[in-house]
Amino acid sequence: MREIAVFSGSAHPDLAAEICRELGEPLLPARLRRFANDCLEVQLQSNCRERDVFLIQPLSPPVQEHLVELLLMLDAARGAAARVTAVIPYYAYARSDKKDMPRVSIGGRLVADLLITAGASRVLTMTLHSPQVHGFFSVPVDNLHALRELAGYFRGHDAPGSVVVSPDLGYAKPAAAFARRLGLPVAAGAKRRINDEQVTISSIIGDVDGREVIVLDDEIARGTTIVELLAHLREHGVPSVRIACTHGLFSDGALEKIAAEPEVTEIVCTNTVPVQGRLHHDKLTVLSVAPALAEAIRRIHEGESVSALFEPH
């Protein structure tokens, strides 16, 4: 069996180091250099000749910097490696999945093409914003989810009368899978997005009156959807709300804004993107997906099934 080689970009070295500890493999060094004209150069500083290479780099802010860095890493590895897998815990361009206005690019497809052209022979990611993004890639894609980690956490908190609420109908299927893991009913908001900063929720489909709620979403960026949903839950007499998501970006003060809502008792996310500076917020809990990603990497390396582990139940 070919040896494994794991490298990390600059986006989330802490997650990469944790994955390597789970794998029992060293995190190999890579050097990032910025020239005077602002161009980047990446050097993989360990031999990867005929090795099974994994490059770990979520597309977290600044997204464009981290994307170009990943492209350069892929290009550097493909000349020597037997196989190169891009491990992208957060694929930011998954939100650009359709042409909803004239003369706009479908960024999710374009970035997929860039990654493959740069040298990715496989992609490992987590909780794509839209399932159809999987089809943008012409190489194998393993799209994991964090439902097991999130459900395992909430299972330890007794909440027999709770209901799981998806902020929109598009995420109702994963919310239903999450609710089944907890043995809880599910509801969903009827959401319409006006622009990147404004959404409206016309109603909540399902019974939430007077019940404790667990809100499940794939990603929280500005938090406008969550704040709008909380207003509707308040109208239904919901006494407390716990919020769960895979990708906790919390841009533009979103964490503080959501935590300030009186009904919100806890916010739970995973570490697919860095959470430095927020770890000590009294309402925030961060779960690690490093064991899941490490197990997927091990299975890919050894030629075992990945979907058998991570399909929603």
pLDDT tens digits, one per residue of 29-49: 999 999 999 999 999 999 999
Give the pLDDT band (50/70/90) at residue 171.
confident
Angle between the 147-155 and 172-182 helix axes, to the nearest 10 degrees?
40
Query: 307: which 2 tokens?
Result: 């979907």
pTM, 2 dp: 0.94
pLDDT single digits (tens) 52-94: 999 999 999 999 999 999 999 999 999 999 999 999 999 999 9
pLDDT at 191: 76
Residue 241 DSSP one-character state? E
Q: How confident is the model at residue 277 (pLDDT cuts 50, 70, 90)?
A: low
Band the pLDDT of 112: cuts 50, 70, 90.
very high
pLDDT over 80 (residue 216):
yes
Residue 192 has pLDDT above 90, yes or no: no
pLDDT of residue 278: 65
Q: What pLDDT is attached to residue 197?
A: 67
Distance separating alpha carbons of residues 262 and 268, to the nearest angstrom: 16
The answer to whether residue 310 scores a pLDDT higher than 70 is no
**Is residue 154 pLDDT above 80, yes or no?**
yes
pLDDT at 274 over 90: yes
Catalytic residues: 191
Phi-psi label, residue 62: left if phi above 0, alpha if psi -120 to 50, beta otherwise: beta
What are residue 194's phi and psi, to 5 degrees? Answer: -85, -45
> Measuring CA to CA, how many Å separate 182 from each of 148, 179, 257, 260, 284?
10, 5, 28, 27, 21
Residue 196 or 179, more confident: 179
